[in-house]
Amino acid sequence: MIKRILIVNVNWVGDVLFSTPFIRALRAANPDAHIACLLHPRCREMLESNPRLNEIIIYDEDAAHKGLIGKWRLIKELKKRRFDTAFLLHRSFTKAFITYLAGIKERVGYPTKNRGGVLTRIIEEPSEELHKVEYFLNIARAAGCDIGDSSYEFFVQDEDRKFIKELLAQSNVSDKDIVVVLCPAGNWPPKRWPAENFARLGDELADKFGAKIVLSAAGKDLKLVEEIKSVMASAAVIASGKTGLKQLGALLERADLVVANDTGPMHMAVAVGADTIALFGPTSAGLTGPYGKGRYRVISRNESCEVPCYDVTCTDNACMSAIKVEDVLGEAEAMLRKI
């Protein structure tokens, strides 16, 4: 009988990427199993086309599965699928309890949020803080999986590559051009390098390398990228709001260099193999920085604050302002010259 496994995944784009080495290891240990992933709708595109999964099940806590009635609907959906084992990457009690009510006999995970009594196999929490990739892989190791590669991955399709090629062509960017993608946004302001720094960096790279500068961010950050473009002396292409996550992955794959704050797109760039410079201020690269194989650099100049710092109300931004354009430009030149 084919084993049926459910992975209860996390809720954020970057963190879902961190789970892909776990998914790969679990598939390698269970080549014939039916492996499904329970996932927040905003992260669906991160795992679509992942050949290691048979199924993605959406858990929409804000709509279809909101409230007790919605959760009971999800429980019934899971019951029908008759899963044997659930691996809980998400730390919540509620998600663990849902797998219990769904009749999944084996429930494996960390005993976070006082949920130890709901689990059938408790994985001891690490004694020291680990990178999120290793935090998830600990569960795989405890389940007997061999860890051959800890790099995360994102799968880009030819249709997405075609879309990006056509999008860039509309701005006279050809296949032969050097493309630098700048990702100036971040899910909270203290993680953002100053907009004027991105503008100056773009101008320097356009001047020194003839690079085509592409500004990429979510649609809600369109004002930010327009501000950056408005103060640049060189031309820039705005991709914000024009791509889904799959097309963004294709754009990052096309790039000769990506410069980004600590964001999901930065991790996507690493996942698709793009040369990447990651700018870190209040967050810890040791916990959530780029990881595994790949050509990337982390720049952090935080000397005044304890890291990680999660004060989302901070307006000082000293840690990000401490990163000078010259710091980034030096690394960018080395990467573009393949030094």
Nearest to 245 by CA among 120, 311, 157, 123: 157
- Asked if residue 309 and residue 171 are part of one domain, the reply reads yes
Sheet strands (E) in the chain = 4-8, 34-39, 55-58, 85-88, 106-109, 121-122, 179-183, 212-215, 236-238, 257-261, 276-280, 296-300
CA angle 73-76-79, nearest 5°? Answer: 155
Q: What is the pLDDT of residue 221?
A: 92
Q: What is the pLDDT of residue 305?
A: 78
3-state SS, residue 308: coil
Nearest to 266 by CA among 207, 181, 169: 181
Q: In this structure, is residue 65 part of a structural domain?
A: yes
Q: Give the pair of three-digit tokens for residue 129.
A: 């803080």
Q: What is the pLDDT of residue 10?
A: 95
Q: What is the pLDDT of residues 87-117, one digit of tens each?
A: 999 999 999 999 999 999 999 999 999 999 9
- Asked if residue 181 and residue 41 are part of one domain, the reply reads no
Q: Give the pair of three-digit tokens for residue 115.
A: 């949920």
Residues making up the chain, counted from first to last: 339
CA 263 to chain centre: 7
Q: In this structure, is residue 280 part of a structural domain?
A: yes
Choosing from 91, 113, 142, the residue where a domain stops is 142
Q: Is residue 17 within 8 Å of residue 46, measured between CB atoms?
A: yes
Q: What is the pLDDT of residue 292?
A: 87
User: CA-CA-CA-CA torsion for 300, 193, 285, 326, nearest 10 degrees?
Assistant: -30
Q: In this structure, is residue 149 part of a structural domain?
A: no
- Asked if residue 87 and residue 53 are part of one domain, the reply reads yes
Instruction: Give the strands of the sheet with 179-183, arranged side by side.
Output: 236-238, 212-215, 179-183, 257-261, 276-280, 296-300
Q: Give the pair of three-digit tokens for residue 322.
A: 């401490």
Q: What is the pLDDT along the chain (339 residues), one digit of tens a residue?
A: 799 999 999 998 889 999 999 999 999 999 999 999 999 999 999 999 999 999 999 999 888 899 999 999 999 999 999 999 999 999 999 999 999 999 999 999 999 999 999 999 999 999 898 999 999 999 999 999 999 889 999 999 999 999 999 999 999 999 999 999 999 998 888 899 999 999 999 999 999 999 999 999 988 999 999 999 999 999 999 999 999 999 999 999 999 999 999 999 999 999 999 999 999 999 999 999 999 888 999 999 877 778 888 888 888 888 899 999 999 999 999 999 986
Taking the C-alpha atoms of residue 208 and residue 226, their distance in angstroms, rounded to an integer, is 23
- Asked if residue 133 and residue 165 are part of one domain, the reply reads no
- Asked if residue 167 and residue 296 are part of one domain, the reply reads yes
Q: In this structure, is residue 34 part of a structural domain?
A: yes
Q: What is the pLDDT of residues 81-91, one digit of tens each?
A: 999 999 999 99
- Asked if residue 171 and residue 291 are part of one domain, the reply reads yes
Q: What is the pLDDT of residue 187?
A: 85
- Asked if residue 165 and residue 132 are part of one domain, the reply reads no
Choosing from 142, 175, 204, the residue where a domain stops is 142
Q: In this structure, is residue 40 part of a structural domain?
A: yes
Q: What is the pLDDT of residue 339?
A: 63
CATH of the domain at 232: 3.40.50.2000
**DSSP class of 283:** S
- Asked if residue 179 and residue 288 are part of one domain, the reply reads yes
Q: In this structure, is residue 148 part of a structural domain?
A: no
Q: What is the pLDDT of residue 317?
A: 83
What is the residue range of 113's domain? 4-142
- Asked if residue 26 and residue 170 are part of one domain, the reply reads no
Q: In this structure, is residue 183 part of a structural domain?
A: yes
Q: What is the pLDDT of residue 313?
A: 85
State how many domains the chain has.
Answer: 2
Handedness of CA 146, 286, 154, 57 (dihedral sign): positive
Taking the C-alpha atoms of residue 261 and residue 183, their distance in angstroms, rounded to an integer, is 7
- Asked if residue 270 and residue 238 are part of one domain, the reply reads yes
- Asked if residue 219 and residue 70 are part of one domain, the reply reads no
3-state SS, residue 135: helix
